[in-house]
């Protein structure tokens, strides 16, 4: 994609969505006595310039109508300083498109108070489709304040100013987002000179640049799909507004390369890469492309080194490296973690938020509570100093000197090298890998869909109406071809439902297939050859139907796996546990060790597992373990010999139409489990219930 098209997109950001939403229907207009957001800006002379930019962008009518917006409002002094810095004398010298970018950069479609703004990035992008970085500090009067994009402060005295359709936060500067490429941003930071050089020398930077930021062949129809799900819940979904590309790379600063590894130049980094990757790929060691003169070859150790440091998605911010707010994870029992594919083919990286004090580690494995790590493993299998420390990931919002958020990507600094080496393969990745379906498809994260909206609020579903305003967040359906390595066939829909806190879903969100669905998708890779179980976590409900599951390496010729899966049967069904779901009237979390062992053995023989004991659902104040809920369960889809360098696929096809077009199957999370975990005996060494 041409670079000029990228900048054109930034000037006209979210045009597809705004085309159908900037002119709200009269039915959504308020009858009110207070001010709307547009009037708030217009009625206060200190915001006259920003108010004028909003009008020239054509957003004043939208901000006078239905909505729950957040506005970061720069005062005239801030706008004038910004204009002067650009060599401009007045707002009149900006084009309408530039005013559009200025206005949308300061507006968010979801309402956030300062209490909702946690370190990292704001949970929703601005109306320009870019993240807003958040950190905290103190003003001149020693008041605790929110700082945006590392330099702009929300005024303490006027924060959380309420209007009829949102909140206004006056700020002392103008927010901007970089339009530079990831390669350019890294090159501008002298503290990461060696990594930046390697990024270019291996061709990874060129690959990302050629991929571009926006798929300009995709056009959203904007059409609503209305459906009924769960307990007669009426919902609406739309296709995504755009199809953006994104990447995330992890960088070891020059100072750490020198102090920890003795590396001071590109040749030294290449030699370290040989040390790490030659034992994993010994067959390539004597090939010509292995040497220092072929760094851009896919089999070159340095290429593999940099490719593994780079994810195939834009995770937006530090607090999005794992599930936002740790939602759905009992953090005193286990650490929130996610697994992402890298640009090194058929490899995964583990990202973890260290929350469990029992797994802090000791000596070389000691970690910092609250920090996020890549490829760390300290747990009940590898306790204290027997695990792998991993690499600590630093929050980009704390680097006041350099911008880390590029157009289409982000880079994080880490305190150790991350590698797909023998330790990663044999220890870190040799475990039950549980992946929420919202992480399996990179587009869901890159396009800011995962965990979007306010999970504490549900849509208005008390009637037969469908909320087309997406007041508290959006549900999406994916046209065939939107998600890479996914085929949506049949007369059905593949839908991502935004999170709601009361739902029987691990993080409150889920994928569903509706109608006469027939969906095939590539699953994440395994780290080594061997026998693996593929498990599906889901919630059984009466409204759900029956699906045939297929598995194999040829997406056009997959083998059916057992009898069709009936998603109306929960663990209390007679064919599974029946009355044995509870013992002496107690839920699983109150079982003694002997009762738990017997329960696991029974389910394992039937090809089932309870829902994750370390996961929960909540109605707000309560916290119910998944293992205590009969509707939340895991089923073994298949057990198969799998190879590390091969692609594998699952197909989910409707074989029941009893619910008509609302016939559905639910996909909550996927587990890849090696025989070293599932194949243990039924004694003390059996697989944990987390």
Query: Who wins on pLDDT, 658 or 546?
Result: 546
Give the phi and the psi of residue 598 in degrees, each rounded to 5: -65, -40
For residue 233, the cross-strand partners are 229
pLDDT value of residue 4:
35
* Average pLDDT score over residue span 80-100: 96
Secondary structure class of 259 (helix, strand, coil): helix
The answer to whether the CB of 241 falls within 8 A of the CB of 477 is no
- Strand ranges in 444-499 using DSSP code E only, listed in sequence order: 476-477, 486-497
Q: Give the span between the Cα atoms of 406 and 549, in whole angstroms.
A: 40
Does residue 14 surpass a pLDDT of 50? Answer: no
Query: Who wins on pLDDT, 548 or 14?
Result: 548
Does residue 29 surpass a pLDDT of 90? Answer: no
pLDDT value of residue 22:
40
Fold adopted by 472-678 = Jelly Rolls (2.60.120)
| Residue 33: Cβ-neighbour burial (10 angstroms; 0-12, 13-18, 19+) | exposed
pLDDT value of residue 490:
85
pLDDT value of residue 478:
98
Does residue 208 surpass a pLDDT of 80? Answer: yes
What global pTM score does this model have? 0.92
Tokens of residue 571, six digits: 């663990």
The answer to whether the CB of 441 falls within 8 A of the CB of 486 is yes
pLDDT value of residue 65:
87
* Average pLDDT score over residue span 144-157: 96
pLDDT value of residue 659:
64
pLDDT band (50, 70, 90) for residue 661: low
pLDDT value of residue 461:
65
Question: Of all helices (H) and strands (E), which one includes residue 6?
Answer: helix 3-11
* Average pLDDT score over residue span 167-188: 96
Domain residue ranges in the chain: 3-171, 178-431, 472-678
Topology alike, domains 3-171 and 178-431: yes
Chain centre to alpha carbon of residue 544 = 26
The answer to whether the CB of 500 falls within 8 A of the CB of 487 is no
pLDDT value of residue 614:
97
pLDDT value of residue 190:
98
pLDDT value of residue 676:
94
pLDDT value of residue 684:
54
Give the phi and the psi of residue 130 in degrees, each rounded to 5: -125, 150
Give the phi and the psi of residue 413 in degrees, each rounded to 5: -85, 145
pLDDT value of residue 514:
92
pLDDT value of residue 465:
81
The DSSP code for 253 is -
377-415 residue pLDDT tens? 999 999 999 999 999 999 998 898 999 999 999 999 999
Mean pLDDT of the chain: 92
Does residue 462 surpass a pLDDT of 70? Answer: no
Instruction: Quickly list H helices, 107-244.
Output: 182-187, 193-201, 204-211
Q: Give the span between the Cα atoms of 30 and 609, in whole angstroms.
A: 50
Query: Who wins on pLDDT, 354 or 33?
Result: 354
pLDDT value of residue 472:
85
Q: Give the span between the Cα atoms of 343 and 341, in whole angstroms.
A: 7
pLDDT band (50, 70, 90) for residue 458: confident
pLDDT value of residue 680:
80
Q: What is the CA radius of gyration of the chain?
A: 26
pLDDT value of residue 682:
55
Does residue 228 surpass a pLDDT of 50? Answer: yes
491-540 residue pLDDT tens? 899 999 999 999 999 999 999 999 999 999 999 999 999 999 999 999 99
SS3 letters for 485-519? CEEEEEEEEEEEECCCCCCCCCCCCEEEEEEEEEE
pLDDT value of residue 534:
98
% residues pLDDT > 70 (the chain): 93
pLDDT value of residue 660:
63
Does residue 10 surpass a pLDDT of 90? Answer: no
35-78 residue pLDDT tens? 999 999 999 999 999 999 999 999 999 999 878 899 999 999 99
Determine the Cα angle at 292 with ends 289 and 298, to 5°: 40
pLDDT band (50, 70, 90) for residue 232: confident
Length of the chain: 690
pLDDT value of residue 20:
35
* CATH number, domain 3-171, options 2.30.180.10, 2.60.40.1930, 3.40.50.720, 3.30.830.10: 2.30.180.10
* Average pLDDT score over residue span 576-580: 97
Q: Which one, of 492, 476, 435, 421, lies nearest residue 662 by Cα?
A: 492
* Average pLDDT score over residue span 176-187: 95
- The CA-based diameter of the chain, rounded to the nearest angstrom, is 79
CATH superfamily of 178-431: FAS1 domain (2.30.180.10)
The answer to whether the CB of 367 falls within 8 A of the CB of 390 is yes
């Amino acid at each position: 994609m041409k670079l000029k098209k990228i900048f054109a997109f930034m000037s006209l950001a979210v045009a597809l969505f705004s085309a159908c939403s900037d002119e709200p229907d009269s039915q959504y207009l308020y009858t009110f006595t207070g001010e709307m957001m547009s009037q708030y800006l217009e009625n206060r002379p200190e915001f006259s310039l920003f108010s004028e930019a909003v009008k020239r962008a054509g957003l004043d009518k939208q901000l006078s109508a239905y909505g729950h917006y957040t506005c970061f409002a720069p005062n005239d002094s801030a706008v004038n300083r910004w204009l002067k810095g650009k060599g401009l004398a007045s707002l009149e010298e900006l084009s309408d498109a530039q005013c559009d970018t200025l206005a949308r950069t300061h507006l968010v479609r979801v309402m956030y108070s300062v209490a909702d703004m946690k370190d990292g990035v704001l949970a929703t992008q601005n109306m320009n489709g870019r993240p807003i970085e958040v950190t905290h500090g103190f003003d001149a009067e020693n008041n605790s304040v929110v700082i945006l994009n590392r330099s702009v402060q929300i005024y303490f005295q006027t924060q959380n100013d309420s209007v009829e359709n949102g909140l206004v936060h006056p700020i002392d500067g103008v927010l901007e987002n970089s339009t530079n490429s990831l390669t350019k941003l890294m090159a501008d930071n002298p503290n990461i000179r060696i990594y930046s050089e390697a990024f270019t020398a291996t061709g990874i930077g060129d690959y990302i640049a050629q991929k571009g930021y926006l798929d300009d062949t995709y056009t959203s129809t904007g059409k609503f799909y209305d459906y009924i799900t769960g307990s007669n819940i009426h919902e609406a979904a739309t296709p995504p507004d755009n199809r953006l590309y994104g990447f995330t790379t992890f960088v070891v600063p020059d100072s750490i390369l020198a102090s920890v590894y003795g590396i001071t130049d590109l040749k030294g980094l290449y030699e370290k890469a040989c040390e790490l990757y030659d034992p994993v790929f010994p067959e390539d060691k004597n090939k010509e492309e292995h040497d220092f003169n072929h760094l851009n070859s896919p089999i070159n150790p340095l290429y593999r080194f940099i490719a593994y440091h780079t994810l195939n998605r834009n995770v937006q911010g530090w607090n999005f490296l794992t599930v936002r707010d740790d939602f759905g994870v009992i953090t005193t029992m286990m650490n929130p973690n996610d697994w992402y594919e890298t640009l090194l083919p058929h490899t995964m990286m583990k990202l973890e938020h260290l929350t469990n004090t029992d797994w802090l580690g000791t000596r070389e494995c000691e970690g910092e509570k609250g920090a996020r790590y890549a490829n760390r493993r300290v747990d009940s299998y590898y306790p204290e100093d027997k695990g792998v420390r991993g690499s600590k990931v630093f929050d980009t919002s704390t680097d006041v000197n350099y911008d880390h958020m590029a157009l289409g990507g982000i880079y994080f600094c880490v305190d150790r090298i991350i590698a797909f080496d023998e330790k990663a393969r044999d220890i870190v990745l040799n475990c039950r890998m549980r992946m929420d379906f919202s992480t399996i498809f990179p587009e869901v994260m890159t396009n800011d869909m995962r965990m979007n909206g306010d999970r504490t609020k549900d849509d208005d579903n008390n009637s037969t109406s469908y909320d087309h305003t997406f007041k508290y967040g959006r549900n999406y359906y994916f046209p065939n071809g939107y998600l890479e390595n996914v085929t949506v066939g049949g007369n059905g829909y593949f839908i991502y439902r935004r999170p709601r806190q009361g739902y029987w879903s691990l993080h409150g969100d889920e994928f569903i297939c509706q109608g006469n669905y027939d969906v095939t998708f590539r699953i994440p890779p395994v780290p080594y050859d061997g026998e693996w179980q593929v498990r599906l976590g889901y919630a059984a409900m009466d409204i759900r139907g029956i699906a045939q599951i297929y598995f194999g390496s040829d997406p056009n010729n997959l083998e059916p796996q057992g009898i069709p899966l009936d998603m109306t049967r929960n663990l209390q069904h007679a064919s599974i546990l029946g009355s044995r779901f509870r013992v002496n009237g107690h839920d699983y979390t109150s079982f003694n060790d002997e009762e738990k062992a017997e329960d696991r053995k029974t389910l394992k023989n039937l090809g089932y597992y309870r829902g994750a004991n370390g996961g929960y659902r909540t109605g707000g104040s309560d916290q119910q373990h998944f293992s205590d809920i009969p509707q939340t369960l895991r089923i073994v889809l298949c057990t198969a010999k799998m190879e590390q360098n091969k692609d594998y696929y699952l197909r989910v096809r409707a074989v029941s139409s009893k619910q008509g077009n609302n016939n559905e199957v639910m996909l909550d999370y996927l587990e890849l489990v090696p025989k070293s975990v599932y194949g243990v005996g039924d004694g003390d060494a059996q697989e944990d219930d987390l």
